Amino acid sequence: MVGTAEGGAERAVRRWVDAAGGRLVLDGGLATELEANGADLNDPLWSAKCLLSSPHLIRKVHMDYLEAGANIIITASYQATIQGFESKGFSKEQSENLLTKSVQIALEAREMFLKEHLEKSTPIQHPILVAAALGSYGAYLADGSEYSGDYGEAGTKEFLKDFHRRRLQVLAEAGPDLIAFETIPNKLEAQAYVELLEECNINIPSWLSFNSKDGVHVVSGDSLIECATIADKCAKVGAVGINCTPPRFIHGLILSIRKVTDKPILIYPNSGERYDGEKKEWVESTGVSDGDFVSYVNEWCKDGAALIGGCCRTTPNTIRAIHRTLNQGCHKHQLPVGCSIDLCSTPNALLPAVP
């Protein structure tokens, strides 16, 4: 396991980026693709339903993204919380097992992907990583507040830390390569996350990823620069970035983040479609095509993004196009001295040990 003491998280992410040739490709809209494959996502506990009855479907979608060129697959735990499961009658043990299962399924998908390529005599020569997803408190509420950051009376740091603590511990214990704090809507929750990383002594690199609807602030109205500064000051955070945000805003947001941190920047925008929090659905025909989405990629590279992918309403086709564009347009670095290229036993085989 990669350590995060004294900036180890940032070093780990940089070495993964270097081993991938200068950019890491993230997967896309897991929930979007599950729905396209027949999963019913209307229930706030859709993740529990899929983890219980359709693990094969989750595994298939992970595999689809890996085949499309993703270096990082994100687990089906974004809306999965112990409190949400318990409210529907699951025991604490069952709830924790479901969180663990989300990581296990992704790890199994990676193993299957690497094995298939080894059998085809086309071994993978770049990192394949699993990121355990933690959505915001608003994602648990499923009332659209993940896109506003307005938590009412629940909006205190200690409440949020209590809410996320055991979930974070369980996901970390399941053995992912990264912890992905996603779609963070406000400064308060970012502060709760970094304090939990320290208090729980989480020794897995993490990233903090915020969302914005105006290209300047996070969705609550808090300053993105202040939010990014919170992430920058935490040694256990290896990357900082933006997700579930229209592509047209990403250029300016990257430049804002770069003002306050030298950590690797990750960006995985949505398709540009607008989400209606009251109807709980995406408004069709408000986004961009895959071609238009990918047309931004070289600009994001020039801006300094090191991890690039897609979020809601993007598909494996989007990720395939990003992968192709990065291979064509971005400089390829040499592998670090002394690195192996055999990734069949572990995704970290390309990486020198982090002191």
Q: Of 43, 27, 24, 102, which is closest to residue 318 (Cα–Cα)? A: 27
Residues sharing a CB contact under 8 Å with residue 219, sequence separation 6 or more, in sequence order: 147, 148, 149, 185, 186, 211, 212, 213
Tally Cβ neighbours within 10 Å of residue 279.
Answer: 9
**CA 99/CA 95 separation, integer angstroms:** 7
311 annotated to bind ligand: yes
What is the chain's length?
A: 355
Which tokens hold the place of 19?
């081993």
**CA 297/CA 310 separation, integer angstroms:** 11
Phi and psi at residue 171, to the nearest 5°: -65, -40
> Which runs of consecutive H residues, i.e. helices, occur in the chain?
8-19, 30-36, 46-53, 55-67, 82-87, 92-119, 137-141, 157-173, 187-199, 224-232, 250-258, 290-295, 297-303, 316-329
Residues sharing a CB contact under 8 Å with residue 50, sequence separation 6 or more, in sequence order: 34, 39, 57, 58, 76
Contact 45, 99 (CB under 8 A): no
Which tokens hold the place of 324?
């192709």
- 169-196 burial, b at 16+ Cβ within 10 Å, e below that, comes to bbbbebebbbbbbbbbbbbbbbbbbbbb
Contact 113, 63 (CB under 8 A): yes
244 annotated to bind ligand: yes
Which tokens hold the place of 167?
């979930």
- Binding residues for Zn(2+), by number, are 244, 311-312
- Binding residues, by number, are 244, 311-312
